[in-house]
Amino acid sequence: MAEEDPQEQLLQAQILKHTFGFVYSFVLKCSIELGIFDTIHNNRGNPMTLSILATSISNTILSISNHKLYRLLNYLVHMGLLQKHVTFAVEGEGRKEEPEFSLTDLGEFLLKDGEKSLASWALAIIDEGDMGCWHQLSSCCSSKDDQRTAFERIYGASVWDLAAKDAEVNRVINDAMAGDTRLVMPAFIQGCSSVLEGIGSMVDVGGGTGMAMSMVAEAFPHLKCMVFDLPHVVATAPQLSHVSMVGGDMFQSVPSADAILLKFMLHNWQDDECVKILKKCKEAIPKEAGKVIIMDIVVDSEMENSDLTHSKLSLDIDMMITSGGRERTVEEWERLLDIAGFRSHEIIPIITIQSVIVAYP
């Protein structure tokens, strides 16, 4: 009988874990759609038994099998999103074991209306329309002349062109960006208020529905705030007090202001396009005291924990197949800003996946 190698078994398990990595994504999507996190949260902070949770979901969303729900909940426990407790219910003259489930701190981030919810962001990444793009990843790695993204190969248009025509695609993108804004802007406002010293006006280029600028306007009432985005985005954006909305093309010109904000936007574009955007932003700010404030990912795998690096590198591949953009290292950001003509910059870490990069003309 061949001698078993425990190390080989672990290596096989690691390969299978990578092979089934998509299960994490789809269990996450299913759980958000079924309202599992919100249903447990709405139970006044108390754990919920399997039977009560199943009844609640069946009454509000869809009829659900207790047994299948139990298997889903066990996977969420495995993912660290739920905690499982064992209770005993009286049944006749005996007692029957019945599991209860509660949210973990990690699961709190998936409440749909949570202050720091990532639910809309998760649903956008795992959107059915995007999932097919991943099967085109090999083609995206080609060095041939056809440099279309996987998204463009499947839909015949870029993400942004399709969003201009399809209201649902536009909504999914805007909801995801709003979710990101709820996380990053409080961290920016609390940790980088000095960046806005001496600034009287600010334009959020690619600012979507204006949530980021409305938060800035509330925190800094003296600032004149504007959102500049594509006309179809501005057309569906809500009216905001103290924030003006202007439609246009950032590759043509950018409205003048003391500071320009580029929040989680440059990673959507290739280097040449980023340089064009940065040059237009540089033209729009004062030569002496102007600032371009970039909120984007800075990859530094040697200084980060593995989960953070995994998230950043995963987003990098996601950019490759969807928008054609990329995530960048410190050196790559320095090169971009140098080519665009900025004399200096500083990188400020904040408590989100993004960093703040302040560029000076």
Dihedral pair phi/psi, residue 291, rounded to 5°: -145, 140
Cβ neighbours of residue 79 under 8 Å, at least 6 residues apart? 24, 27, 28
Question: Is the residue at 71 inside a domain?
Answer: yes
* CA–CA distance, 258 with 256 (Å, rounded to integer): 7
Indicate which CATH number applies to the domain containing 239: 3.40.50.150
Give the integer Cα–Cα distance in Å for 309 and 280: 31
Q: Is 348 exposed, middle or buried (0-12, 13-18, 19+ CB in 10 A)?
A: middle
Backbone torsions φ then ψ of 210, nearest 5 degrees: 90, 10
Which among 85, 267, 310, 345 is annotated as catalytic? 267
Residue 104 shares a structural domain with residue 191: no
Q: What's the residue count for the chain?
A: 361
Residue 303's pLDDT is 64
Q: Is residue 152 part of a domain?
A: no
156 in a domain, yes or no? no
- In the chain, how many domains are there? 2
For residue 20, being part of any structural domain is answered with yes
**pLDDT of 193:** 86
Look up 135 and say whether it is catalytic: no
pLDDT computed for residue 44 by the predictor: 87
CA dist 91 and 151 (Å) reads 55
Backbone φ, ψ for residue 350 (5° rounding): -130, 175
Domain for residue 170, yes or no?
Answer: no
Chunked mean pLDDT (size 10), the chain, 361 residues: 76 94 96 96 92 91 90 98 85 75 96 91 91 90 80 92 91 88 91 90 95 94 95 89 95 98 96 98 96 95 78 94 94 98 95 94 95
Query: Which of 91, 109, 127 marks a domain boundary?
Result: 109
Q: Do residues 242 and 342 both lie within one domain? A: yes
Q: Is the same domain home to 95 and 188?
A: no
Which of 68, 92, 109 terminates a domain? The answer is 109
Q: Which strands sit side by side in the sheet containing 224-229, from one edge to the other?
A: 243-247, 224-229, 201-205, 259-263, 291-296, 355-360, 344-349
Residue 298 belongs to some domain of the structure: yes
Final residue of a structural domain among 109, 129, 162: 109
**Domain co-membership, 207 together with 79:** no
Q: Are residues 74 and 198 in the same domain?
A: no
Domain-embedded: residue 345: yes
Give the pLDDT of residue 88: 73
- CATH number at 82 reads 1.10.10.10
- Residue range of the domain that includes 329: 183-360
Asked if the structure places residue 118 within a domain, the reply is no
Are 351 and 226 in the same domain? yes
Residue 247 and residue 353 in one domain: yes
**Which pLDDT value is given to residue 356?**
96
For 172, other C-beta atoms within 10 Å of its C-beta total 19
**Is residue 222 domain-shared with residue 334, that is, in the same domain?**
yes
